Amino acid sequence: MSGGVDSSVTAFFLKERGFDVEGVSLVLWESRDTSSTCCSTQAIEEASKNAERLKITHRVIDARKDFLEKVIKPFVNSYVRGLTPNPCVLCNKHIKFPILLGEADKRGALYIATGHYARVEPEKSIVNNHQSLVKTNNQCPVTNDQFPDLAPGSNHFLLKKGIEPKKDQSYVLYGLGQEELKRLVLPLGDYRKDQVRKIAKELALPAAMRNESQEICFVQDKNYSKFIESLSGMTGERGSIIHISGKVMGTHMGIQGYTVGQRKRLGISSPEPLYVVGIDALNKTVLVGPREAAKTREFLVKSLNWIVLPEALLFKEEESVSAFRATVKVRSTMKDEPATIYMETNPPSPPFAKGGAGGLLIKSARVVFDKPQWAPAPGQSAVFYDGDTVLGGGIIKRLN
């Protein structure tokens, strides 16, 4: 329970369905910023009030040390390297869900639940003649060591979008595995935000009057540069701001203050609107250009996580690269757009030869959109969809 509307109404729904519900709040960061619904002191206090109103047990877990090591430090290090990380993806994968599962195990609880707008369904919901999603079987070459959750005979669960496109949060959950999904309950995936807020008001929950949380809960006033400097000790190394034509436009005070697609606070003047189109950390250079120059059609994705195996991973003796069609998001708020994903793999060992690995080692994926998309940023996640089902995703490493 974060103290906000969504997690509080989730607890209400579960209690109404007959579950024995206990609320858990995580102290992630020492913040008194009241615009943050998951990090501030006020948020924790309101989560406790919401739990009291719902007549459920509530406890608080201090996760600040893990959050610092597994979310904050990677966040800071990424910006220093000219990347744009997504801390929500890191937090869900390394903090929230591992802690929730651990606490559930301590209490003998069967399930965990959050207020995310997404859905979890068993794989049997896939129709037999589906063109893109495949069930694992004995002919699948992907080794159990690589994908133990997708082993033949396992009970497989799917992650799907929430029904309200603007509130869908499946993007930030793509890094979860079967261990989490098989025990995860997401009641809000079948509701719209206005319905949830209305229910909170009818229940007279303190959360009903709270505003939406800011995008990154631990950065106050969206001043990333100041936050990063305070954590890293950097005072800002000067570098050049260069137009794609080669013209030097000005000087910046540190690449950590910039991200691909940024228009405001560039510190330069120009007769036309300019956007950040690239960041060269090695040379401490920020590259700018017109809006069209910030659009990208193709990029490389690594650190892949699969929830559903696409047909591209089926065994092909003579091929080391396969491709499949999907829609792709490169930020949580965008609509997923059609693309071709080219899988780059190491060739398998001799066709299931005795003693051979008998599987493909997936190195990376190259995403090629049908049409150029607005400002994919290295460090962000690219998430692959088949309809409303999440196939998987990874981290954008390089733009072309």
Active-site annotation holds for 91: yes
**Mean pLDDT per 10-residue segment, the chain (400 residues):** 93 96 91 54 88 95 94 91 92 96 95 97 57 36 38 71 96 96 97 95 81 64 72 76 96 90 92 95 95 96 90 55 90 95 67 39 87 95 97 88
In this prediction, residue 226 carries a pLDDT of 76
In this prediction, residue 39 carries a pLDDT of 58
List 38, 39, 88, 91, catalytic entry: 91
List 38, 88, 140, 217, catalytic entry: 217
Specify which residues 3 forms β-bridges with: none
Neighbouring CB atoms inside 10 A of 102's CB total 11
Q: How far is Cα 298 from Cα 195, in angstroms, rounded to an integer? A: 38
Half-sphere exposure of 184 (CA within 13 A, CB side): 30
Dihedral-angle region of residue 391 (phi above 0 means left; psi in -120 to 50 means alpha; beta otherwise): alpha
Pair type for strands 381-386 and 57-62? unpaired
Active-site annotation holds for 217: yes
Q: How far is C-alpha 248 from the geometric centre of its chain's CA atoms?
A: 35
Q: Where are the alpha helices (DSSP H) in the chain?
A: 5-16, 41-54, 64-67, 73-80, 87-91, 97-107, 178-181, 193-202, 224-232
